[in-house]
Amino acid sequence: MKLSMRIIMALAALQGHPIRFSTVAAPDKDPDSVALDIGPGPQIGRVRGLRSDKGIAYSGDLRMDVLVPQGSGPFPLVLYLPGGGFVSARRMMAGKQRRYVAGAGFVVASIDYRTTTVGATYRDGLADVAAALAFLRDHASQYAIDPDHVAVWGESAGGYLASMAGTAPDNRIDAVVDFFGASNLAAIADGFEGDIVAATTGPDSPITAYVVGPGGLAVGEMHEADPTSRVTPTTPPFLIFHGDDDRIIPPAQTAHLHQALRQAGVPTTRYVITGAGHGDLSDDPAPWTTTQLMDLVTTFLHDQLS
Domains and CATH numbers, the chain: 3-15+29-305 (3.40.50.1820)
Residue 83: what pLDDT? Answer: 95
| 145-164 per-position pLDDT tens digit | 999 999 999 999 999 999 99
Model confidence pLDDT, tens digit, residues 252-274: 999 999 999 999 999 999 999 99
pTM of the model: 0.92
Q: What is the pLDDT of residue 222?
A: 81
**Tens of each residue's pLDDT in the chain, 306 residues:** 455 445 555 555 545 555 667 788 888 889 999 999 997 789 999 999 999 999 999 999 999 999 999 998 999 999 999 999 899 999 999 999 999 999 999 999 999 999 999 999 999 999 999 999 999 999 999 999 999 999 999 999 999 999 999 999 999 999 999 999 999 988 888 888 877 777 777 767 778 888 877 655 555 788 899 999 999 999 999 999 999 999 999 999 999 999 999 999 999 999 999 999 999 998 899 999 999 999 999 999 999 998
pLDDT at 5: 47
**Which pLDDT value is given to residue 29?**
86
Q: Supply the DSSP string of the chain, one letter for each residue.
A: --HHHHHHHHHHHHTT------SS------TTSEEE---S-PBP----S-EEEEEEEEETTEEEEEEE-SSS--EEEEEEE--STTT---TTTTHHHHHHHHHTT-EEEEE----GGGT--HHHHHHHHHHHHHHHHHTTTTTTEEEEEEEEEEETHHHHHHHHHHT-GGG---EEEEES----GGGTTTTS-HHHHHHHHSTTSHHHHHHH-SS---HHHHHHT-GGGG--TTSPPEEEEEETT-SSS-THHHHHHHHHHHHTT--EEEEEETT--BTTBSS--GGGGBHHHHHHHHHHHHHHH-
